[in-house]
Amino acid sequence: MKITHIGGPTAVLDLGGLTFLTDPAFDEPRDYQLPGRVMTKLTGPAIPAAELGPIDVALVSHDEHKDNLDDVGRALLPSIPTVLSTPGAADRIPGVRGLKNWESIDLPRPDGGVITVTGVPALHGPEGAEAVLGVVTGFVLQGDGLPTVYVSGDNASLGLVKEIADRFAPIDVAVLFAGAARTTLLDGANLTLTSTDAVEAARILDGAAIVPVHTEGWTHFSEGPEQFVAAFRDAGLEDRVALLEHGVATSLD
């Protein structure tokens, strides 16, 4: 498996002969004027969308927020053969396949066999957050002879991490959306994992390599990569973290 972090929640995963793109966000830095608030993007993508190369599958955790699916990312979707997201996103975006929680789809591998992608639950904030921020999904990728990969999406619930770990153990690689995102929408509640939460998630996901994403590039993220690594160092788990250099393909064994 190789993974290339493009920035924010956006990464390219090369697994079993297929190329997966998580939460396509490729806009340059800008302000987004939204009802009652402004979202500010601080950094652009390490690799522009036009330079990505072929993508087989897009994994879109949710479509309502610009930091997970922006204007350039949305325009990219029609060129991707398989786009997986929430059932609601499938209603809103032509060509999207929605996965309910625990629903799976088998994707053919070029060398034979399949990669099974399962939609798994995520909670974008405290209990009841769906009413304000919408429904989010994570994904688990599995295939014979391949590492099992968990992509969390914008999830703040350790209880859900435990459910997913129990169903799919052992998970080999966990791509955790962290950064302790906070906005005025839910009175400053954490909308994604804090660094301390991510340490607890790593303990739950016993043995998994932890790849942090979505910790930087936006003003509403309160904890960056440095805080993430420091929390793991303080917990004696620094060796579990694979902190990726943006734009550089990294092999995870």
Picking from 38, 3, 9, 2, the residue whose alpha carbon sits closest to that of residue 26 is: 9
Distances in Å between the alpha carbon of 73 and those of 8, 22, 33, 176, 185?
12, 10, 18, 20, 24
For residue 102, pLDDT over 90 is answered with yes
Cβ-Cβ contacts under 8 Å for 35 (sequence gap 6 or more) = none
Confidence of residue 187 (pLDDT cuts 50, 70, 90): confident
Q: What is the mean pLDDT of residues 207-211?
A: 96
Which CATH number does 2-251 carry?
Answer: 3.60.15.10
Task: Give residue 200's pLDDT band: very low, low, confident or very high (50, 70, 90).
Answer: very high
pTM of the model: 0.96
Q: Give the alpha-carbon dihedral of 249, 47, 43, 190, to 10 degrees.
A: -50
Residue pLDDT, tens place only, 15-68: 999 999 999 999 999 999 877 778 899 999 999 999 999 999 999 999 998 999
Residue showing tokens 């302000």: 31
Q: What is the pLDDT of residue 58?
A: 98
Residue 201 predicted with pLDDT over 80:
yes
User: Which range among 4-8, 98-102, 187-191 shows the weakest confidence by mean pLDDT?
Assistant: 187-191
123 pLDDT higher than 80: yes
Q: Where along the chain do its domains lie?
A: 2-251
**pLDDT, position 31:** 94
